[in-house]
Amino acid sequence: MECGIKMKSRNQGFRLREATSLFLLENAVWPLFIATYLILGIIQPVIFSPTFLTYILYLSIPLGFAIIAQTICLIGGVLDLSVGSIVGFSAMLAGVIIKEFKLIPPELSLILPVFFGLLCGMFNGYFIGFLKLNPFIVTLATMMAYQGLKIIVARGFTIPGGYLPEIYLFPGSNMVFSISSFLVAIVLVWIFLRYTKPGIHIYVVGGSQDVAHMMGIDPRKMLFIIFSLSGLFAGISGLYYTGFNRSVPITLGNEVLFPTFAAAIISGVSLKGGRGNILNVVGGTLLLGVIEAFLVTYAISPEARIVGYGFMVLIAVLFNQFRDNLRDSILRRV
Amino acid sequence: MNEKSTVNLEHYEHTKPPLLSLRNIHKYFGKVHALKGVDLDIYEGEVIGLIGDNGAGKSTLTKIIAGVIKKDAGEIYWMGSKVEIKNVNDARKLGIEVAFQEMTLIDSLDIGLNIFLGREITNQRIPWILDYNRMYQESSRILRQLGLRTSENPKREVRFLSGGEKQGIVVARAMLFHSKLVILDEPTRNLSVAGVRMVLDFIRSLKERKIACIFISHTLHHVYEVADRIVLLSLGEKILDVPKLQYTVEELERLIIERTLKHNVSV
Ligand SMILES: Nc1ncnc2c1ncn2[C@@H]1O[C@H](COP(=O)(O)OP(=O)(O)OP(=O)(O)O)[C@@H](O)[C@H]1O
Ligand SMILES: [Mg+2]
């Protein structure tokens, strides 16, 4: 015991330095965000205004919920290719129902997209968890199915905001509510993932499904939960997109999938599964928001933005690998 | 020799029914007949040394008892009454604790969480919140009791541990949860001389506490040292089940080689 204390004090300086670099590496998305913000701000000074920064955050919230969805999947060692399609389909189906059946109480209408998102996610989860199908194939199939369904239920048209009750548009259109509810959601998900049994079991399943099974954690049940949660947050994302746009565009959700990967990975969520901190996802969301805003101020075409997102995913993966290796080399020595 | 092995006096001394009885257990993996009607009785506080060639079916038997895989035929009795062990939690409820041969650890999680995998401690006041402090304390305590250096930092991620240190975590887990039957599938693999001593002492301490143990190992000397009974599996069949005391380790070795050869030729 005494010996241990002596050793500790001798290593104090060393440990402090190691601990700081570890802390910085684990949360590297924040310095990366700040650096990007400063560089882009020098090129385009309008970015530096405080209202602009708040606006960037506000702009990123609908996508942020979809990023939460993808992050939960990646921590669980799986990916959800259908997340963007669920965003679009759940918002569209809810929008059509609200528009066609005016009898629905406006307060109740709020839960419709969330509920439809959950159903879509449960459908994925059933095939992947209980029927043991490959998540990549299942979500690839439902990505197309939900996308097609969105266009079918919309009959090819955008739903204008005039058909939707004000309270339905509120979460996504009110800047203060939008931002604060997102931050609350992030904290709740963080508590769930790190401090509850089902949450930590998502990390376990992401680490190894076989080990989970042998330790009495049912991977089938966990996969069902993971995809249900993913669908739920995609549905919430649909609700916020609707409010933000003040309409349900027929293209809603089309550009969601790639940014969710880019943001989650750059935030330190490992593609290997079982690793990642949801709090850092706020940093990833902001980082993407700044880049997006920068591109928009320069009026870069949507096509070019898609190319940009493609490369962003690649850069994020490279960055993540570099960070993980660095982190490992420090931890191995501790 | 033969006369000796048929005298199974030990069994008649028991007044209670066996803690665990396996009857006619079969298991197929596709065409592979991994277990061909295995019977096994284990009594309270008894240590069984389960040995046999690679692929003999030892781990398969372990996993059936642990509820990890399903048997294709046969019955399991627990303290005299028939039970179905459908999953790992059924086995845990009966009081069966298993340290698997595949070290069941999650590399990206810390030592504390790994020890409590699937049985995490929750807060006393807020029952759905995990109590990390208690998990780390308990982990440190049990690892220190085993004399393992990993006790110093239960927050360390498991992937940075050596093979032996990982094995130590697996044994510590078996030690932490009080149970009636502990199955250790090659717990001494990768371990140093001191580590092996620690495991063997642990098995002896189980015996003192009337906890039954199935100890699987390829090192006959280790098995001989702690086991009361030696059970030999070969190609999915039990071909030897003898009290250890009637043999020296050399005699046992000869017997095993004899039996295995005979069995493998005749199959
Ligand atoms: N999941 C599985 N799928 C297919 N075959 C399996 C599976 N598990 C075990 N087997 C087969 O069952 C037989 C028994 O394997 P088992 O792992 O029980 O052997 P063992 O006695 O534990 O061997 P070892 O000493 O090498 O650990 C082997 O022929 C093996 O190939
Ligand atoms: Mg084995």
Residues A135-182: tens digit of each pLDDT: 999 999 999 999 999 999 999 888 888 888 999 999 999 999 999 999
Q: Which run of H or E residues covers position A243?
A: helix A219-245
Residues forming a β-bridge with B52: B233
Query: Distances in Å between the alpha carbon of A47 and those of A41, A50, A64, A284, A308?
Result: 5, 8, 20, 17, 19
Task: Pick the residue of B108, B119, B152, B157 with the most A CBs within 10 A to test the interface with A by mutation.
Answer: B108
Q: Give A252's contacts (C-beta < 8 A, 6+ positions apart).
A: A87, A88, A91, A92, A150, A238, A241, A242, A245
Query: How far is the C-alpha of B22 from the C-alpha of B238, rounded, in Å?
Result: 12
Which two tokens mark B130?
Answer: 């995990």
Q: Report the chain B residue with the minimal C-alpha distance to residue A333.
A: B160
pLDDT at position A162 is 82
Domain ranges of chain A: 26-333
Helix (H/G/I), strand (E/B), else coil: B248: coil
| CATH number of the B20-103+181-196+209-266 domain | 3.40.50.300
Q: Which segments of chain B have a pLDDT < 70? A: 1-13, 267
Question: Atom 19 of ligand 1 has which residue's CA nearest to it?
Answer: B55
Structure-block tokens of residue B210: 């009337």
Q: Given this model, what pLDDT does residue A8 score? A: 44
Instruction: Please tell me the least confidently modeled range out of A81-95, A123-137, B172-186.
Output: B172-186
Q: Are B166 and B197 in contact (CB under 8 A)?
A: no
Residue A68 CA to residue A185 CA, distance in Å, equals: 9
Supply the pLDDT for residue B252: 83
CB A227 within 8 A of CB A128: yes
Q: What is the pLDDT of residue A319?
A: 85
Amino acid identity for residue A130 in this structure: F
Instruction: Output the pLDDT for position A13.
Output: 54
Mean pLDDT of A292-309: 79
Cβ-based burial of B7 (10 A; exposed 0-12, middle 13-18, buried ≥19) = exposed
Q: Where are the alpha helices (DSSP H) in B180-234?
A: 193-208, 220-226
Write out the two tokens for B152: 């110093």
Least confident of A110-124, A236-250, A270-284: A270-284
Query: Residue A334 pLDDT > 70, yes or no?
Result: no
- Pairing outcome for strands B229-234 and B32-42: unpaired
Give A197's pLDDT tier (boundaries 50, 70, 90). very high
Helix (H) or strand (E) holding B83: strand B81-83
Task: Report the mean per-residue pLDDT for chain A.
Answer: 89
pLDDT surpasses 50 at A5? no
In A, what residues contact B, Cβ < 8 A? 4, 191, 194-197, 200-201, 203-204, 206-208, 210-218, 270, 272, 274-275, 331-332, 334
Which residues, including other chains, have CB under 8 Å from residue B86's CB and lie 6 or more apart? B67, B70
Test B108 with A211 for CB contact under 8 angstroms: no
Q: What is the mean pLDDT of residues A41-48?
A: 84
pLDDT tens digit sequence for B77-93: 999 999 999 999 999 99
pTM of the model: 0.91
Q: What is the pLDDT of residue B1?
A: 40
Residue A110: pLDDT over 80: yes
Residue type, B102: E
Residue nearest to atom 27 of ligand 1 (CA): B54
Q: Which residues of A144-181 are buried (b: 16+ CB within 10 A; e: fewer)?
A: eebbebbeeebeeeebebeebbeebbebbbeeeebbeb
Is residue A295's pLDDT more than 90? no
Determine phi and psi for A299, rounding to 5 degrees.
55, 45
Q: What is the ipTM of this complex?
A: 0.90
First-to-final CA distance of chain B: 22
Mutate to test the pocket of ligand 1, among B26, B27, B29, B216 (most ligand atoms within 8 A of CB): B29
Chain A residues whose CB is inside 8 A of the B130 CB are 194-197, 200
Tell me whether residues B106 and A207 touch, CB distance under 8 A.
Answer: yes
What is the CA(B228)–ligand 2 centre distance, in A?
Answer: 21
Residues of A within 8 A of B63 (CB-CB) are 214
- From B36, B51, B58, the mutation candidate for ligand 1 (largest count of ligand atoms within 8 A of CB) is B58
Inter-chain Cβ pairs, chain A and chain B, closer than 8 A: 71
Query: Does the beta carbon of B36 lie under 8 angstroms from any beta carbon of chain A?
Result: no
Q: How far apart are CA B123 and CA B135, in angstroms?
A: 10
Specify the DSSP class assigned to residue A127: I
**Averaged over A187-213, what is the pLDDT?**
97
Taking the alpha carbons at both ends of chain A, their separation in whole angstroms is 19
Q: A3, A200, A205, A217: best mutation site toward chain B, by most B Cβ within 10 Å?
A: A200
Quote the pLDDT of residue A14: 55
**CATH for the A26-333 domain, from 1.20.58, 3.40.50, 1.10.3470, 3.40.720:** 1.10.3470
CA-closest candidate to residue A232, choices A242, A221, A224:
A224
Mean pLDDT along residues A205-212? 96
Segment A43-52 mean pLDDT: 84
Structure tokens belonging to residue B37: 């009607």
d(CA A266, CA A258): 12
Cα–Cα distance measured from residue B114 to residue B118, given in angstroms and rounded to the nearest whole number: 9
Bridge partner residues of B20 (DSSP): B42, B78
User: In this predicted structure, what is the pLDDT of residue B2?
Assistant: 43
Q: What integer pLDDT is reported at residue A10 of this predicted model?
A: 44
